[in-house]
Amino acid sequence: MNFTNHLSKANAADALLKRFLSYVSNWTTSDSVAADNGVQPSTEQQWFFAKLLEEELKSIGVSDVTVTEHAYVCARIPATAGLEKVPSVCFLAHMDTVDEVDGRNVQPQVHKNYDGSSISLNGGTVLDPEKDKFLAESAGDTIITSDGTTLLGADDKAGIAIIMTGIAEIISGNIPHGELEIVFSPDEETGHGMDNVPLEWFHSKQCYTFDGGHAGEIEIECFNAYKAEIEFKGRAMHTGTARPDMVNAISMASSFVQMLPPCERPETTDGRQGFYAPMEISGHIESAKVVLFLRDFETDGMERRISTVKQLAAAAASQYPGGSAEVKVTQQYLNMFQKIQKKPLVAEILKEALLKTGIEPKLMPIRGGTDGSRLTELGLPTPNVFTGGHNFHSKSEWASLSQMVCAEEVLVELVKLWATQKK
């Protein structure tokens, strides 16, 4: 499906493009190691962007804006007179970009009236419509890419541009609304995006993150996510006189990884299938550690995975007499579906907002987690909305301007629909 008819909403399209291009040129890469060590924001450069967004919110007429000590930009817009009693709604997007791909000195390229052919960028990066059906459908659209040497940062600066532009339209157009809240957060890509979210600040009992992909896609379901750390213990000996006493923890760890079912890896699964993802292996003869991510949409599926990991770790260790394995499992986030089901209105209104903008909602089980899944767990049901960004976390990341306009229209419709609800 092609969304270029939405480009005729020229004011929003121009404002979105201008904002988006300025946001992506800000370097906001987060640092997962620092974030794992409890530093937030994990990088200094996120402070700079937070301050810039604070200033911009003030300039579009939002007076109640604060940046918390952990760099959350929190803004509140009082309800229009007479609508003080309708429910408050909060919109969120994240400021950081992933640290696996260079996000410094992003040089966005605007492909106006894209002709549908293959796009060759620097560094051998190619966007091939024959391999990317959404790109193939985007002829006539305005496409934005990086220059090929960095990521673009549509994840999630498209979300920030959508929220900023939607809110500016609501304020300047005097569109009646209940109380509105906005949070731009740091460090989402590190998995720590909601660690220091000021929960007590929220008046809203429901939120929406704008951090998704193709137009129409909305997410109310995500993986259950656990991390397993398996520590293998062996016994070191001089290699020349090792026989028979050496017990090699490296061999145990690699044997364990080989035992994981090959058809249940990230690279061999999609849709609703879960997986075991070896993320890291390190160590020496005495001790070796494997870090594994476990993902499953179902609770009992996750229980099965955890017990499989324990059994395989024990089996790997038992092949090496004298060796041992210890498994530590920690929860990362949970599937938000059940909690969102308990407050169905949040998702119902979202679907209606899409239909009002002429877009068929497509419920996607998200093969990952978002700030929304964490917030949902913390008690605020938070579906995720598309932004028109594609190929996230790569140098071939691209954004569709017409789809960003669609998302901005969805935000305005959400505001209008919530203004008709009772608390």
Residues belonging to the active site: 96, 188
CB of 40 to Zn ion, least distance (A): 17
Structure tokens at 225: 């996510």
Does residue 167 come out as left (phi exceeding 0), alpha (psi in the -120 to 50 range) or beta?
A: alpha
- Under a CB-based contact definition with an 8 Å cutoff, are residues 393 and 214 in contact? no
Regarding 371 and contact with Zn ion (CB under 5 A), the answer is no
Closer residue to Zn ion, CB minimum distance, 151 or 247: 151
Closer residue to Zn ion, CB minimum distance, 42 or 251: 42
Strands (E), 150-234: 180-185, 207-210, 217-222, 224-233
Residues that contact Zn ion, how many (by CB under 5 A): 3
CB of 156 to Zn ion, least distance (A): 4
- Under a CB-based contact definition with an 8 Å cutoff, are residues 108 and 152 in contact? yes
CB of 349 to Zn ion, least distance (A): 22
Q: Which of 56, 156, 219, 377 binds Zn ion (CB under 5 A)?
A: 156
Does residue 103 come out as left (phi exceeding 0), alpha (psi in the -120 to 50 range) or beta?
A: alpha
Closer residue to Zn ion, CB minimum distance, 335 or 373: 373
CB of 172 to Zn ion, least distance (A): 28
Regarding 397 and contact with Zn ion (CB under 5 A), the answer is no
**∠ CA 294-206-334, rounded to 5°:** 10
Instruction: Give the whole-angstrom CA distance, residue 292 versus residue 227.
Output: 6
Contact range with Zn ion by CB under 5 A, out of 128-136, 149-157, 277-285, 376-384: 149-157
Residue-wise DSSP of 29-40:
B--HHHHHTT-S
Instruction: Give the whole-angstrom CA distance, residue 403 versus residue 330.
Output: 37
Mapped onto helix, strand or coil, the DSSP state of residue 27 is: coil
CB of 363 to Zn ion, least distance (A): 18
Question: Which residues in the 268-297 window bind Zn ion by CB under 5 A?
Answer: none
Q: Which of 54, 56, 99, 155 binds Zn ion (CB under 5 A)?
A: 155
Regarding 181 and contact with Zn ion (CB under 5 A), the answer is no
CB of 348 to Zn ion, least distance (A): 24
CB of 94 to Zn ion, least distance (A): 6
Mapped onto helix, strand or coil, the DSSP state of residue 70 is: coil
| Residues 120, 124, 130, 135, CA torsion sign | negative
Residue-wise DSSP of 343-401:
STHHHHHHHHHHHHTT---EEEEESS--HHHHHHHTT----EE--SEESTTSTT-EEEH
Closer residue to Zn ion, CB minimum distance, 156 or 409: 156
Contact range with Zn ion by CB under 5 A, out of 8-16, 50-58, 206-214, 278-286: 206-214
Q: Which of 99, 211, 296, 413 binds Zn ion (CB under 5 A)?
A: 211
Regarding 219 and contact with Zn ion (CB under 5 A), the answer is no
Closer residue to Zn ion, CB minimum distance, 179 or 211: 211
- Under a CB-based contact definition with an 8 Å cutoff, are residues 405 and 7 in contact? yes
Beta-carbon contacts of 276 under 8 Å, excluding residues fewer than 6 positions away, are 260, 261, 264, 265, 292, 293, 294, 305, 308, 309
Closer residue to Zn ion, CB minimum distance, 232 or 392: 392
Regarding 264 and contact with Zn ion (CB under 5 A), the answer is no
Closer residue to Zn ion, CB minimum distance, 4 or 373: 373
**Residues making contact with Zn ion (CB under 5 A):** 155-156, 211
